[in-house]
Amino acid sequence: MMDAAWRRSTRMSQAGALLATPTEKPREADLAFDDLYRSSRDDVYAYVAGLLRDAAAAEEVTAIAFERAYRKRSRFDRRRGEPRAWLFGIARNAALDELRRRGRQAELAAEPEDLAAVPAVESAEQSERRLALNAGLATLAPRDRELIALKFFAGLANAEIATVLGISESNAGTRLHRALTKLREACDEAL
Amino acid sequence: MKPFSEMRDEELAAALRSLRPEPSPAFAAELDQRAAAGFPRRSPQGARNPFARFLAWLRNGSMMRLLIPAGGVAVAAIAVATVMVAGSNSGSADSEVATSAESVEMSGSESTAVGGSADLAPLTKQAAPEAAAGAEAAPAEEANESSSIQVEPQVFNGAGNGGAAVTAPHRDVERASQITIGTKPGEVGEASSEVFETVHRYDGIVLNSSTQNGSGTQAEANFELLIPSGKVGDAMAAFSRIGEVVNRHETTTDITAPTVGAGERLQDSQARIEGLLAQLSEATSDTEREVVEAELASERRHAANLKAKLSNLHRRANLSHVSVRIVSGKGALSPGGSDKDESWGIGSALDDAGHLLSVAAGVTIVALAVLAPLLLLLVLAWLAGRAWTRRARERALT
C-alpha cells in the first residue's frame, strides 16, 4: 500500500505539513504519514531508548508507537499541535505503559553499551567522558532523563517538548535547565 | 579533564548528542517493512484469552466501530418496544370491547363501568325483612337508602362453601344500569326492536322509549326499562350483543336497612290496629267508640303508607332500572369494530401512522430517560479511566 507513497515521498519536500488534515483524501494522509515516519523514526527510537534504557524494549515500544499513530492518523487535529509533537505524545504514552508494565521505573537494567555504541576511534578522555555521562544519566530521575532524551536524543525544540509533556514552553525550558544541572553534578561525581 | 560543571552548554549538548541511541539496522529494516505494509496488526501481548483480546479490540478500535453496532442495537430495541407497546394497546382496546360484550362473566363491585352483573346476582334475592336481623341500626332509613352497598365479605364467599351462604343475612340491593350502544345510522330501528325483544324475553317493563330513525348521522333511541333483578345480568349481556358497547355503567345501592325498618314499623302498626279493634269491640259508650275509631283510622292510614313504602322498596329491589341508549354516527363505532362494511382507507392509515408515531415517540422518550443516566455514567467512567491512566503513567516516572 505504501510502496508508491514511499517512493513519491522521497521526492516530496519536507517543508509544510507532515500530516494531512482530516478533510484531505486518505491517499494524501498516507503520504503525509509516510513523511512523518521517515523524518521521525530514528528520533522516536532515540527518545524511547533514552527513557527506557533497554534496546529491545525500545524497539518494541517504537513499533507500537508508530502502529498506534498510523491507526489514529485520521484523528490528528493540527490545531492541537504539530505532527511531531503529536507523534511523540503517542510514543511517550507507549513508553510509560511499558514502564508501568515492567514496574521498573526506567531503571538502567542492562545493555547500556548497546544504547551508546563505542565509537571506533576514541581517545581515553573521550571514553572516560562518555562513561561518566552514561553513569550520570543512569542516576538521573526518569522525569529528568526524559527531558534530556526529548531534547538531545530526539532533537525536539522546547515548544515541542512542552506540547508533548503538556506544560508551558517556559516551564519546559526551566525543567530542562534543572535536569542539565543535575546531570552535570551526577557526571562530576562519576568522574 | 575539565569537569562537567565547567563545560559550556554547547559542549555538554554535543556530548549528549554523541550518546544518542540509534536503531539497529535490522530493526530499522523490519520497521520500514511494516510501514510499507501499512502497519498490519500484530497479536497484542497477553491477548491469548478472549477477554484480553476483546479489551485490545476495544482499545485499538475506532469509535465508529463501537457506535455502529450500539446504534443498531438501540434502534432495534426501540422498534421492538414500539411494536410491543402498540400491540398491547390494540390488545387492551379489543379486550375492552370483549369484556363489555361478556358482562356475565365479569366480577362485580359497588359501581362498575363495565361488567359486574353475574356475581351480584345473589345480592338481588327478594327482600326478606325478617331475615335481616342485623339491620337494627336503621332508624334513619331515608338517609341510608342511597348509601352504597356495604356487604360483608362472607356473603360473597358463601358461594364457595355452601353452609355460610345459607346462614348469611339476606340483603336487599337496588341496581341501576346504563348502557350506550353504537350502531350504524340505518340500523337504529333494528337495534330498537332487539331491545324490545330482549325486554320481553326477560319479563321486563318499558317505562318509556323514544326512537329517532333516519339515514342521517343523528339517528338514536333511548329506553328506560325495568328488568327483574335476577335477570338483569343476562339482559345486559343481551343488550351488549345488539351493537358495539360505547359505554356501560352499573351502580348498586343497599336498601336492606330501610326495607327492614319499614317492615318492622308496619308490623307494629298492624299490632296497634288489632289492639284498637279489640278496644273498639269493648267500648261501652259512643264517646269512647268515636275516640277509638278516630285513632283506628289514623293508624290505618299510617299502616297504608308503610305498606306502600315497603312495596316500593320491594319493587326497587326486585326490578332494576336500566337505561339503554342507542347512538349512531361518527364516533359511535371504533375503527375495526362492528362497522365492518367501512373499508380501511387512507384516513385510517394516517390515523394508524399517527398513533404509531406517537407511541414510538413515547417509547423513545422512555428509552432516553433510561439510557441518558447510563450514558452519563459511562462518560464519567470513561473520563475517570482516562484520568487514572494519565496519573498512572506519570507515576511511572517518579
Q: What is the ipTM of this complex?
A: 0.77
**Among B389, B57, B46, B34, which Cα is nearest to A67's?**
B34
Is A115:A49 a contact under the CB 8 Å cutoff?
yes
Task: Give yes or no for A58 touching B (CB within 8 A).
Answer: yes
For residue B149, give its domain range. 102-328
pLDDT tens digits in sequence order for chain B, 398 residues long? 678 888 888 888 988 988 899 999 999 999 999 988 888 876 555 455 677 667 666 665 555 666 777 778 877 877 777 777 666 655 444 444 434 433 333 333 334 333 333 333 333 333 333 333 333 433 434 434 443 333 333 333 333 444 444 445 678 888 899 999 888 877 888 888 899 999 999 999 899 998 877 655 668 889 999 999 888 889 999 998 888 888 888 888 888 889 999 999 999 999 999 999 998 888 888 888 999 999 999 999 999 999 999 999 988 888 899 999 998 876 565 554 444 445 678 888 898 899 899 999 998 899 889 889 999 999 999 999 999 988 888 888 87
Q: Which residues pair with B252 in a beta bridge?
A: B175
Query: For residues A8 and A31, what is the distance between their CA atoms, to the nearest angstrom?
Result: 8
Query: For residues B124 and B155, what is the distance between their CA atoms, to the nearest angstrom?
Result: 12
Residue A53 in grid coordinates: 534504557
- Chain B: residue nearest A50 by CA? B21
Of A41, A50, A129, the CB nearest to B21: A50
**Among A59, A12, A62, which Cα is nearest to A32's?**
A12
The residue among B7, B30, B31 with the most chain A CBs within 10 A of its CB, best to mutate, is B31
What domains can be seen in chain A, in order of their start residue?
A: 18-107+122-190 (1.10.1740.10)
Looking at the domain assignment, is residue B57 inside a domain?
no
Average pLDDT for residues A77-85, to the nearest whole number? 82
Query: For residues B12 and A183, what is the distance between their CA atoms, to the nearest angstrom?
Result: 10
Looking at the domain assignment, is residue B119 inside a domain?
yes
Q: Which residues pair with B121 in a beta bridge?
A: none
Interior/surface letters B319-334, b for 16+ CB within 10 angstroms, e for the rest: bbbbebebbbbeebbe
Query: For residues B275 and B282, what is the distance between their CA atoms, to the nearest angstrom?
Result: 11
Is B243:B186 a contact under the CB 8 Å cutoff?
no
Distance from the first to the final alpha carbon of chain A: 52
Flag whether pLDDT at A51 surpasses 50: yes
Residue B305 in grid coordinates: 303508607
| pTM of the full structure | 0.48
Of A6, A106, A191, the CB nearest to B36: A6
Is A139:A61 a contact under the CB 8 Å cutoff?
no
pLDDT of residue B99: 40
The residue among B16, B24, B388 with the most chain A CBs within 10 A of its CB, best to mutate, is B16
- Chain B: residue nearest A69 by CA? B39
* Tally of domains in chain B: 1
Residue B93 in grid coordinates: 382496546
Task: Give yes or no for A99 touching B (CB within 8 A).
Answer: yes
Residue B103 gets which letter from DSSP? G
Looking at the domain assignment, is residue B97 inside a domain?
no
pLDDT of residue B147: 38
Flag whether pLDDT at A52 surpasses 70: yes
Query: For residues A93 and B390, what is the distance between their CA atoms, to the nearest angstrom?
Result: 9
pLDDT of residue A179: 93
Residue B116 in grid coordinates: 359486574
Query: Kind of pairing, strands B319-328 and B220-228?
Result: antiparallel
- Chain B: residue nearest A36 by CA? B35
Q: What are phi and psi of B247, to 5 degrees?
A: -155, 145
Q: Please report, for residues A139, A182, B18, B19, B386, the alpha-carbon distance to residue B4 in angstroms, rounded to integers and kept in the order given.
A: 15, 11, 15, 15, 41
- Chain A: residue nearest B8 by CA? A184
pLDDT of residue B215: 59
**Among A177, A138, A186, A184, which Cα is nearest to A158's?**
A177
Which range in A55-69, A111-125, B28-42, B67-81 is most confidently predicted, on average pLDDT? A55-69
pLDDT of residue B395: 84
